[in-house]
Amino acid sequence: MAEIRLYGPGEGEALRRLMEEAFGPGAAGRPGEPPALPEGCRAWLGGSDSGGPAAFCRAVPDRETRARGRLCLDALFVSAPHRRRGLGRALLRAAQECARGEGLEGVWGYFPAEVPPAFLSATGGRKLRTLRFFRRGRLESVLYPRVPQGYRVRPMSLPGDLAAAAALYNAVFARMWNFRAHAPGDIAEWFEGGDTAPENCLLLESLSEPAGLLGMAALAVDPSRLQAGDKTAYIPDIGVVPDHRGKGWGEILIAAAAARAREAGLAALELIADAEDAAVCAFYRRMGFEERGVIQVYEWGLPGESST
């Protein structure tokens, strides 16, 4: 039976080797230092032959995935010579049991490569979505267009904007594949983890219309990436309410996000888009974003239960 154990002290070089085999040189951070893992991350190692661990998986503390009752995996890797030893299934089972212990309903995996159909069939998993990953550098070349009179883009103010921002979020993202209705408390939670701050959550506002808020663009900055010298901001949420789409507000929000990133000393923006939404993907390309790959999203239920 495959041996699986939680990653612990003294195994940094083993995990570094696997991460670099999976993701390329530099994926584990600076040589000679412990592998760069997000705060709150857990990893499992698999295999115990004389060559050391041959597989690993990693769970990251993604707030939105957990709010949907799922443990978030962003890596599940088995070194090529060991892929018929059941290590992948054993690692997944360890993550599933971790999810069960935390009162979650299953596991979502966000991976850069397709999971083989045979593995999905053997483990009771299913594919949920393909997401396209976009990146835009050269932020100094993003011109900030003039906002029409009667409108403005401003940072969120707490606690006064919480209720209106929750209503805005629900109106903008209601048709997303993974939509979860937000209450004011859910918006407040955005700012508890340290990645997002109110001044980095930009609101598009009409000064005359009863609806008030028409769109939003939030920036998230991973402290571990900054510490490693990667000056990139991620845009987890950007959009405009349906009645005001197609009027140029998306361009203004992208430009406002770029301006805010420059003010914060950042050099690039990243975001993801649903591969099935061709119009949105085309919009990001027009705005100078380059596609850098895809993220495949998978779901597994708990052992003895079916995925839902």
- Stretch 173-197: mean pLDDT, rounded? 94
Residue 292 has pLDDT above 50, yes or no: yes
- Stretch 27-44: mean pLDDT, rounded? 82
Is pLDDT larger for residue 47 or for residue 161? 161
Burial class for 269, CB neighbours closer than 10 Å (0-12, 13-18, 19+): buried
**DSSP for 170-182, written as a single string:** HHHHTTSTT----
Residue 41 has pLDDT above 80, yes or no: yes
Rounded CA separation 21/211 (Å)? 51
pLDDT digits 0-9 by tens, 42-77: 999 998 656 689 999 999 999 899 999 999 999 999
Q: Where are the alpha helices (DSSP H) in the chain?
A: 12-23, 63-67, 87-101, 117-123, 162-173, 184-189, 223-227, 249-263, 278-286
**What's the pLDDT at 190?**
93
The per-residue pLDDT of the chain, averaged, comes to 92
Q: Provide long-range contacts, Cβ within 8 A and 24+ apart, for 95-104.
A: 95/44, 95/57, 95/59, 95/71, 96/71, 96/300, 96/301, 96/302, 96/303, 97/303, 98/42, 98/59, 98/71, 99/70, 99/71, 99/302, 100/302, 100/303, 102/71, 104/66, 104/69, 104/70, 104/71
- Stretch 169-184: mean pLDDT, rounded? 96
From 24-33, 151-160, 243-252, the region with the lowest mean pLDDT:
24-33
Rounded CA separation 177/10 (Å)? 41
**What's the pLDDT at 83?**
85
- Stretch 14-41: mean pLDDT, rounded? 84
Is pLDDT larger for residue 200 or for residue 40? 200
pLDDT digits 0-9 by tens, 204-259: 999 987 779 999 999 999 887 888 789 999 999 999 999 999 999 999 999 999 99
Token pair recorded at residue 256: 């406002």
- Stretch 88-94: mean pLDDT, rounded? 96
Of 51, 59, 35, 132, the closest CA to residue 85 belongs to 51
**What's the pLDDT at 286?**
95
Most confident stretch, 32-46, 79-93, 125-139: 125-139
pLDDT above 70 coverage of the chain, percent: 97
Asked if 233 contacts 135 with a C-beta cutoff of 8 angstroms, the reply is no
**What's the pLDDT at 308?**
43
Rounded CA separation 164/209 (Å)? 14
Is pLDDT larger for residue 26 or for residue 172? 172
- Stretch 100-123: mean pLDDT, rounded? 96
**What's the pLDDT at 120?**
96
The owner of tokens 């018929």 is: 84
